[in-house]
A and B are shown apart, each in its own frame.
Chain A
Amino acid sequence: MTDQSTAPGQGLNGAAGEGFLSIRGLTKRYAGFTAVDNFDLEVPKGELVAFLGPSGCGKTTSLRMIAGLVPATAGRIVVGGQDLTTVETHRRDMGLVFQSYALFPHMSIARNVAFGLEMRKVPKDEITRRVKEAIALVHLTGKEEHKPAQLSGGQQQRVALARALVIRPSILLLDEPLSNLDAKLRDEMRNEIRDIQKSLGITAIFVTHDQGEALTMCDKVVVMNEGRLEQVGTPVDLYERPKTAFVASFVGRTNRLKAVAKDGAAEFAGQRVPAAGLSGPVEVMIRPHRIALSPAASGEGIAGTIARAIFSGDILQYDVDVGGQIVSVELATRGGETVLAPGTQVSLSWRPQDIFVYGAAA
């Protein structure tokens, strides 16, 4: 596997252990299974990092370990040079936005937001001022005396955000904060959260199972699967240079094809694809819109037969039978093209950097 994106243990600039938030060997084991396995990460100050993965991959557990709500079985959590691994939650100075918002139902919005400041024994008039600012920051001015039950889901979300931000925490943690919102609201909040985070320059971790959220919002994405870190990198890195089969298929759409590798190359539909260091069964992955399709007459690329043509407005999708396997090809519609009928012979081609080969499980 080529090492294009950052390896664990190294900051973006490559220097080891330089992150504002430094996680080393973080592990969480329960009786019978390991939720998080040896998680290493360096996060520079001011960066918004996503923990991305399917449910059960360990992303929320990792976040809760950082917050101190779950004690780590092994590993270290260091923030700004301070080892916080054994420090209790209420002394870690982190802001956590919960998926369920977790607002205090018996307190008004203002008192909810003020709570963290009260705990820090901030003087009364300063509390009033900062609460007002925070509420204005999330565009909820005028609702200070309302109770959480009187607010909509999106509004409650913003209160949760204000409450976590007003204390100026060293790190902002967000646990799938947008999952309970409808699609339109989600998009709105995505931008708002990103804007606020950037303007405050606060280091933040954003847990999500939605790769669209991760890619559009965050500076860096950590892809997790079954408790392990699959890859860390910028959205572009992950998309263009996925290091594992999991990352390739989880981030963006992709075709997954079977082939057999021998002597450093995989034989696929009459073409040889480089597969350095692999032998035996492999998975060949290529994204549907990175494939060029032309009539068979051109003679380049590999031959296939159109099995199905699907026109869905923005996209014209062809399922092409190549040596027994189906390769999906997506073409942006330009208007005026003829939709090729099933049975048509076509020729597919792609750039070498757009095809990934990984070892397949037996």
Chain B
Amino acid sequence: MDERPVSLTLKILAGVMFAFLLAPLIVVLPISFSGDAFMAFPPTSWSVKWYPAIFANSKMTAAFWTSLVLATVVTTISLAIALPAAYALVRLKPAGAEVLSSLFTAPLLLPTIVLGLAILIVFARLGLLATFPGLVLAHLVVTLPYALRVLTTALATLPIAVEEAASTLGASPFTVFRRITLPMMKSGLIGTTALCFLVSFDEVVLSIFMTGPRISTLPVAMYHHVEQQADPLVAALSVLLVVLSLVVVLVVDRTSGLAKTFVK
């Protein structure tokens, strides 16, 4: 597109800023292999002991499983709820579809600290605090807007003539949805799954309000751990989490093209 060489100043500036941008993530890797009991950079000794230490830490492993199960449940429910909603808004086009769409994506506009507090107060009265269902519900509030956004975009860009063709060939509306619409939405569905999973898995502020001694998610457990003592355990965990995110992203890219799904 642009044959002009990029100026050296820009290259250097951009490079420096990129280093700044990626610094924390880069730093975390060496620390996870630190042999020290405290966090120091650079580490005075090296060891892989912090990785197995994760699994020895019962709080962390419990929190990890909770996060995993929670993210899976939340993702599944998000798809089950957002897909019909997207279909209704895009294909059935009720009056006020725009308003409804804005309303359903509004939770994203709210800072999580405010949303967390608001949900805390209401859920306390409903007895949902520090419960798994309560966590699921809280996470759904933030994953549903994302799911709805991605799915409505995917559905809206589908050429409707193809669905009409299926209809003229004798397919009932539900068959059209099942055999034509859904397969054609594949990349949108995969993108939504990945997005909801990561959003739920990494969610921390809402979860802080919604967790307690009996139940905790991994980010919250890590938060509390760092609050008290910042040791390399968290670094090892972070590395694992970054790898997990990368795996998810790679899967999405392989199956449907990352750039296509998110960068429109």
Contact = CB atoms under 8 A, between A and B. Distances in A.
Judged by CB atoms under 8 Å, the answer to whether A and B touch is: yes
Nearest to B165: A102
Interface string A158-182: 0010011001000001000000000
**Which bracket fits the contact residues of A?**
20 to 34
Contacts, number: 69
Contacts of B172: 88, 90
B175 interface: yes
B100 to A, nearest CB: 21
Contacts of B173: 90
B170 A116 contact: yes
Interface in B78-101: none
B167 A69 contact: yes
A67 interface: yes
Given A105-B184, A106-B184, A119 B171 contact: yes
Contacts of A89: 164, 167-168
Interface string B91-122: 00000000000000000000000000000000
Contact of A93 (B159, B165, B170, B179): B170
A116 B169 contact: yes
B166 interface: yes
A102 B162 contact: yes
B240 to A, nearest CB: 36
A67 B168 contact: yes
A98 B161 contact: yes
B168 A94 contact: yes
Given A105-B184, A106-B183, A100 B171 contact: no
A69 B167 CA distance: 9
B156 interface: no
Central interface residue in A68, A102, A105, A160, by most chain B CB within 10 Å: A102
Central interface residue in B169, B170, B172, B179, by most chain A CB within 10 Å: B169
A103 interface: yes
B180 interface: yes
Given A90-B172, A119-B175, A100 B167 contact: no
B167 A90 contact: yes
Contact of B164 (A95, A102, A163): A102
A90 B162 contact: no
Nearest to B180: A104
A115 interface: yes
Contact of A98 (B165, B171, B179): B165
Contacts of A167: 169-170
Interface in B135-169: 159, 161-162, 164-169
A91 B169 CA distance: 9
Contact of A100 (B161, B169, B176): B161
A93 B165 CA distance: 12
B251 to A, nearest CB: 20
6 contacts: A90-B167, A92-B168, A103-B165, A106-B183, A115-B179, A164-B168
Interface of B: 159, 161-162, 164-173, 175-176, 179-180, 183-184, 186
Given A93-B170, A106-B184, 11 more contacts: A69-B167, A90-B170, A102-B162, A102-B165, A104-B162, A104-B165, A105-B162, A119-B171, A119-B175, A163-B169, A167-B170
Interface pairs A-B: 9 shortest CB-CB: A119-B170, A116-B169, A102-B161, A102-B165, A96-B168, A89-B167, A102-B162, A106-B183, A98-B161
